[in-house]
Structure 1
Amino acid sequence: MRKTETRTPRAFLDATGVNLLLNEARMDERRGCADVFAARLERLALHITGNRLGSIDAAELLRDVAQRIQNDAQESC
């Protein structure tokens, strides 16, 4: 059996290649965050309509969720 050597292609060693990889990773992360956020909004909408919350209760629920999101974001930094 022949031992094969794996090498990183030279295109990925230059700054342009690294920047492209970083930008792609950032976009993937943003897409993932957007998916999570959209799902959270959908669950909130279902909760609001399913429980027939009034506008004041719905607004308070949104404020509570916004505060939890901000707290989560600060903890992850």
Structure 2
Amino acid sequence: MRNVERRPIQPGVDDAGINFLLTEARKDERRNRAEVMAARLERIATHVVRSQMNATAAAELLCAEAEKIRNEAREIC
């Protein structure tokens, strides 16, 4: 067995800085994810226009992209 001193952690004034940093990191991650999604949508839209896809083909392309995104999300967890 290890001799480990355990002290209870109590929230206090010092936590404000850490909470601020965590909030900013979360906001930054959300911004980055939004940029990635916007770029993906623009790439798909460009492909649809250049290929002169009909509505059905464009919808199928969007469904395939949605499935890719779901799979990526599952891999993160």
- TM-score class, shorter-chain normalisation, is 0.7 to 0.9
Letter in 2 for 1:65: E
The match for 1:3 is: none
Letter in 2 for 1:18: I
User: Whole-Å Cα distance in 1 between the matches of residues 32 and 14 of structure 2?
Assistant: 27
Secondary structure, counterpart of 1:53 in structure 2: coil
User: Whole-Å Cα distance in 1 between the matches of residues 35 and 63 of structure 2?
Assistant: 20
Structure 1's consecutive aligned runs of 4 or more residues displaced over 3 angstroms after TM superposition are none
Secondary structure, counterpart of 1:37 in structure 2: helix
Task: Give structure 1 stretches of 5+ with no counterpart.
Answer: 1-12
Cα deviations across residues 17-46 of structure 1 (Å, max 9, x unaligned)? 111000000000000000110000000000
| Percent of aligned positions that are identical | 51
The match for 1:67 is: 67
Does residue 49 of structure 1 match 2:42? no
Q: How many residues get paired?
A: 65
Letter in 1 for 2:22: L
User: Whole-Å Cα distance in 2 between the matches of residues 44 and 15 of structure 1?
Assistant: 43
RMSD after superposition: 1.1
> Offset at 1:53?
0.4
